């Protein structure tokens, strides 16, 4: 977790901000800290956060199809998601395509050491019907 000095600093920043945003994965240390801080909390899906931050950084408005392929993130359905295609306006999103779920030998330990995962999972994709334009 944080050092005592780091925790005091983080709590000071949160007090000034009035709230905290964290990843929605319930087992992340940062999520536990955010929940215990005693401030209003908003949880965000990992891949949606990446796409929304890219939109903000590049001044994009409206709806975009964002692709986040940085590894794994806790999904809104309680499963671990991989590469995601998200239709989003920044504030909300719809998962319109993704890599198919596949067993992850080694569980969450394999996330930290992806070299041990079987190859070929990127060739198994699943697309949902895209909404009408």
- CATH classification at residue 59: 3.30.420
> Which residue range is the domain that position 14 belongs to?
1-44
Domain match, 36 and 54 both: no
pLDDT, position 124: 47
Helix (H) or strand (E) holding 112: helix 109-112
Name the nearest CA neighbour of 123 among 104, 105, 100, 94: 100
Domain count, the chain: 2
Domain match, 67 and 91 both: yes
- Measured from the Cβ of residue 121, the count of other Cβ atoms closer than 10 Å reads 16
Domain match, 32 and 64 both: no
pLDDT tens column, 27-78: 888 888 888 888 888 899 999 999 999 999 999 999 999 999 877 889 999 9
Residues 73, 47 contacting (CB under 8 angstroms): yes
Domain match, 34 and 71 both: no
**Band of residue 122 on the pLDDT scale cut at 50, 70, 90:** very low
Burial class (CB in 10 A: 0-12, 13-18, 19+), 84: buried
Q: Look at residue 121 and tell me whether its pLDDT is greater than 50.
A: no
β partners of residue 41: 20
Domain match, 54 and 112 both: yes
Domain match, 63 and 120 both: yes
């Amino acid at each position: 977790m944080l050092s005592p000095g780091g925790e005091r600093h983080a709590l000071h920043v949160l007090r000034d901000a009035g709230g905290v945003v964290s990843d929605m994965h319930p087992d992340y240390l940062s999520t536990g800290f955010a929940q215990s801080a005693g401030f209003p909390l908003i949880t965000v899906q990992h891949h949606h956060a990446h796409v929304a931050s890219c939109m903000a950084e590049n001044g994009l408005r409206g709806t975009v199809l964002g692709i986040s392929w940085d590894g794994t993130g806790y999904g809104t359905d309680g499963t671990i998601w991989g590469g995601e295609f998200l239709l989003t306006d920044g504030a909300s999103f719809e998962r319109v395509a993704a890599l198919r779920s596949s067993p992850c030998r080694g569980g969450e330990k394999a996330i930290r050491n992806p070299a041990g995962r079987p190859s070929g999972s990127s060739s198994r994709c699943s697309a949902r019907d895209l909404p009408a334009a």
